[in-house]
Amino acid sequence: MPPIDANSLPALPAPFWFVEFFKVLGFTLHMIPMNLWYAGLILAVVLGAFGCEQGRRWGSRLMLQMPILVAAGINFGIVPLLFLQVAYAKAFYPATILMAWFWIAVIGLLIPAYYGVYVYSFGLRGGPEAMTPLKRAAGWGSAVLFVGIGFLFVNGLSLTTNVGAWAEIWERHSVDGAATGTALNLADPTFWPRWLLMFGLALGTTAAWTAFDALWLAGREGEDYRRWALRFALTAAIAGAAWTTVVGAWYVFGTWDAAVREAMFAGPVSLLTWLTGAIPWLPAVLLVWLAWTKQLTRTTVAFVAGAQLASLAVNAISRQVVQNVELRRLIPAGVSAQKVVPDWGPMALFLIVFVVGVGVLAWMFAQLTKATPEASS
């Protein structure tokens, strides 16, 4: 497709940095629960079926939290989706139209995946008799569906920047020049490492969540469980960091074209690139050190969770920078060169509502301190 002159695009309603900031912030927040249903869910159903007693306990805990985590993940996912469409419409829409049936299948798969999680969690709440094979199968089904949804998402977002392949893909998947929506981006060398990379990050998030949950939220569990959970978190954190390093190296050194590599290893941006490669080890190393020095406490484990959050944030920033470089293939002047006519009034309204909304949320959660303990099931 011919390159687009940035000046020909309609004006952005907010400065580009503002759009990018909320896109990255939203994606970082989205990754926390999304990682838990991506890697955590499959581990939970596996351990729920084949694990030791503590492993089953861990699986149950995570699956009981999962309906809320899925809701949070979908919710946070809306923010990057909204801002992606503001600044990147000319790349995002063509890509998703070329794979329209697969893209819309995300919605079709998400509904049974979400209800499957509920069915499994209701089975857990009802005690051993309530967990019928059908309810167990619903959990397995959800785990598979979420991995499949990740596969489709990576297809859509890698195709968004794989502008050079659009014409050829469209030629193969069109009728009378109209897209049939049956394409996937599997021939893109960046696709496979990108899909696998998220699994490594997801293992890291699952590890950090497990450690946090064990010391902050699992007050009713015994000391045995907490020891097991922290050991499990340690293993998952190391596995996740190693996975991220191996697949990340494949992605960076094996699939980036010269333009992206040059941009990502030039000047101060190279610091970001190296930091993105190194930071997934931070929570793992912290956990190892804290375990070694026997300093795993509620406070220190909060630092581990913070380190994982930082790892996700750095990853999201890096992805954004890479995406911007890749989209020079479509908008040579760069996506940031789009005209801006700020809509200050509505922006102010949003920011005020945002602050008030956070306040109301904080008030609601503060009320939970007045809650009586849940009757044990």
Partner 1 sequence: MHYPWWYVPDLTAPMLIALVSVVHVLVSHYAVGGGLFLAAETALAYRTQDREYLGYLKGHAKFFMLVTVAFGAITGVGIWWTIGLASPLATEVLIRTFVFGWATEYVFFVLEIAAAFLFYYYWGRLPEKIHVAIGWIYAAAAWISLVLITGITAFMLHPGAWLDPGTRSFWTGFFNPQFLPQTVARTGGALLLTSLYVYLHASLAIQDKRLHDLIAKRSAGPALLGAVLITVGGLGWYVFLPESAKASLDSAAVLNVLAVLIFALTAVVFVLLYVGPYRNPGWLSPGFAAALTLFGIAAFSTGEFIREAVRKPYVLYNVVLSNQIYPDQVAKLRVDGYLEGGSWTKAYVAKHYPQVMNTGTVATIDEKKLLDLPHEDKVRLGAVLFQHHCNDCHAIKRGYSAVGPLVRGRTEEMNLWTVEHLDRAHFFMPPWAGTPEEARLLAAYMTSIAPPRPQGMIPETGSPSPR
Taking CB under 8 A as the criterion, which residues in 181-220 touch partner 1? 181
Residues between 291 and 310 with contacts to partner 1, criterion CB under 8 A: none
Stretch that binds partner 1, among 146-154, 187-195, 277-285, 358-366 (CB under 8 A): 358-366
Asked whether the beta carbons of 23 and 34 are under 8 A apart, the reply is no
Residues numbered 33 to 92 that lie near partner 1 (CB under 8 A) are 68, 71-72, 74-75, 77-79, 81-83, 85-86, 89-90, 92
CB of 138 to partner 1, least distance (A): 13
Nearer to partner 1, 167 or 266 (CB): 167
Residues from 144 through 183 that contact partner 1 (CB under 8 A): 167, 170-171, 174-181
- 12 counts as binding partner 1 under rule CB under 8 A: yes
Least distance CB 119 / partner 1 (angstroms) = 10
294 versus 370: smaller Cβ distance to partner 1: 370
- Using CA atoms, how far residue 82 sits from 23, 72, 136, 170, 226, in Å, is 8, 16, 35, 25, 40
Q: Are 79 and 350 in contact (CB under 8 A)?
A: no
Pick from 92, 73, 94, 70: nearest CA to 82: 92
Nearer to partner 1, 92 or 228 (CB): 92
Q: Are the beta carbons of 141 and 150 closer than 8 angstroms?
A: no
Among residues 142 and 311, whose Cβ is nearest to partner 1? Answer: 142
Restricting to residues 326-355, name those near partner 1 by CB under 8 A: 343, 345-347, 349-350, 353-354
For residue 345, the minimal CB distance to partner 1 (Å) is 7
The Cα–Cα gap between 204 and 146 comes to 17
Q: How far is the CB of 300 from partner 1 (least distance, A)?
A: 28
Question: Is 6 one of the binding residues for partner 1 (CB under 8 A)?
Answer: no
The distance of closest approach from Cβ of residue 80 to partner 1 in the complex, given in angstroms and rounded to an integer, is 11
The interface with partner 1 within residues 84-113 (CB under 8 A) comprises: 85-86, 89-90, 92-94, 96-98, 100, 103-104, 106-107, 110-111
Q: What is the dihedral of CA 72, 76, 78, 81, to 10 degrees?
A: -140
Q: Which of 2, 127, 133, 267 binds partner 1 (CB under 8 A)?
A: 2
Tell how many helices (H) and how many strands (E) occur in the chain: 14, 2
By C-alpha distance, which of 230, 217, 203, 232 is closest to 34? 203
Residue that has been written with the tokens 């990340």 in this structure:
248
Judged by CB, which is closer to partner 1: 168, or 262?
A: 168
Residue 367 near partner 1 by CB under 8 A: yes
What is the token pair recorded at 219? 């007050």
Q: Distance between CA 16 and CA 29 in Å, rounded?
A: 20
Q: From the CB of 25, what's the least distance to partner 1, in Å?
A: 12
Q: Residue 362 CB: number of other CB atoms within 10 A?
A: 10
The least CB distance from residue 334 to partner 1, in Å, is 17
Closest alpha carbon to 96 in 164, 149, 155: 155
Q: Using CB under 8 A, which of 6, 21, 46, 115 touches partner 1? A: 115
Nearer to partner 1, 183 or 234 (CB): 183
Among the listed residues 53, 375, 71, 69, the one whose alpha carbon sits nearest the alpha carbon of residue 225: 53
Position 359 contacts partner 1 (CB under 8 A)? no
Instruction: Among 187, 266, 271, 360, indicate the residue that binds partner 1 (CB under 8 A).
Output: 360
What is each CA distance from 56 to 46, 99, 231, 284, 355, in whole angstroms?
9, 39, 15, 23, 40
